[in-house]
Chain A
Amino acid sequence: MLAVGSAVKRAQKGVIKARLTVDTETLRIVEARITGDFFLYPEDALWKLEESLRGAAVAEVADRVRDALKEAKLVGSTAEDFIEALMEAVEKAGVR
């Protein structure tokens, strides 16, 4: 079964909005979308991050985020803020 969860995380600067579609049987992410008014360089790392989350097990979310953002620079937010938003979205999708 697919479930959708959304969460909003306020960073030091900017808001991170995460929306995930999770397969509640396999516990894998089917679709990820992250929007907001944060500053990330290079900007297109955001789409790479979303791509790396597709198909990932929910338990791998933190590692995928840290890996995808390893070379990127965030201004006013951190990879941990993104992880918090995504993990809350996972929870909202009814997966623990």
Chain B
Amino acid sequence: MARLLRVLLFETPHDPYMNLAFEEAFARARGAGLVDDTLRIWRNDRAVIIGYFQEAEGEVDMEEASKLGVKVVRRFSGGGAVYHDLGNVNYALAVDGRAVPDPIGYAYTDLIRGVLGALRLLGCEPRVENVNDIVVGGRKVSGTAASFRWGACFIHGTLLLSVDLATLSRVLKPPKEKLLAKGVSEVKYRVANLSELLGRGLGYREVVEALVRGFEEALGAEAYFDMPSSEELSAARLLYEQKYSSPQWNLNRVPHSVFQKLEGELSSLFSRA
């Protein structure tokens, strides 16, 4: 029997806190062996997602974000801040991480091929630059970040289809050191929308199909569409209430271990399942 790839289209675009809570929930559920390898495709409306090690104040113009109704949420992986709106499609893949001898190489070399395959199906000629930036025609169209915890090997990222780049450049503070070194003046010149590069609009459905096929080929797997399990939803609810909706997590750069009560509740939830 072919390897199976479960696909979830579960998303809460108007509640980015829940979207990111669910991201952790399904990664944990995969790591705990409660679900098959899972590809999640989802969208956020107007949010800045910052990396595990970042300080919100340093990356985001908080005043501007608040004025524009852009929420700031932390993800559990490292890397840099990204701006999401409905012009992005996000992908996240969680596979069993326990038998992977070199998870970093596997994630950034093998799993990333799913995204490259999807971009080829959409008519692009993508390249990977500097470990994990996906570039088309010299412009960055996707960044990826991997994480290896809870027994899962996990990679996620965002595809820019038709993002509002003006809002992006208003809310994200330009990484000065990076730009000075590259002689680039603003964040918005480093990234590009796929619709601009391809000269045509890209629909959500078309991108979903390309991602599913891209990851099917990369993993040698057969995809099936599914709904979140009750454990994933319960875990997401706990994560949402105690972590992802809290300023302590989103703004303060604290480690997971700060949320002791939550960790205990998640362990008992998954051990009961």
Contacts and interface: CB of A to CB of B under 8 A. Distances in A.
B177 A15 contact: yes
A75 interface: yes
Interface residues of B, number: 32
Contact of A35 (B54, B77, B145): B54
Instruction: Describe A's contact surface by its main secondary structure.
Output: strand
Contacts of B103: 41
A75 B108 contact: yes
Contacts of B256: 44
A15 B175 contact: yes
Interface in A14-66: 14-15, 17, 33-44, 46-47
For the side of the interface on A, what is the size category? 20 to 34
Interface in B101-148: 103-104, 108, 130-132, 145-148
A43 B52 contact: yes
19 contacts: A12-B130, A14-B80, A17-B58, A36-B53, A37-B53, A37-B78, A37-B175, A38-B78, A39-B78, A39-B79, A39-B131, A40-B53, A41-B103, A43-B76, A43-B78, A43-B149, A46-B53, A47-B255, A75-B104
Q: List the 3 closest A-B pairs by CB distance, nearest first.
A: A37-B80, A10-B177, A35-B55
Interface of B: 51-55, 58, 76-81, 103-104, 108, 130-132, 145-149, 175-178, 181, 253, 255-257
Given A40-B53, A75-B132, 15 more contacts: A8-B177, A9-B177, A10-B177, A12-B130, A15-B175, A15-B177, A33-B253, A37-B79, A37-B80, A39-B78, A39-B79, A39-B132, A43-B147, A44-B257, A76-B131
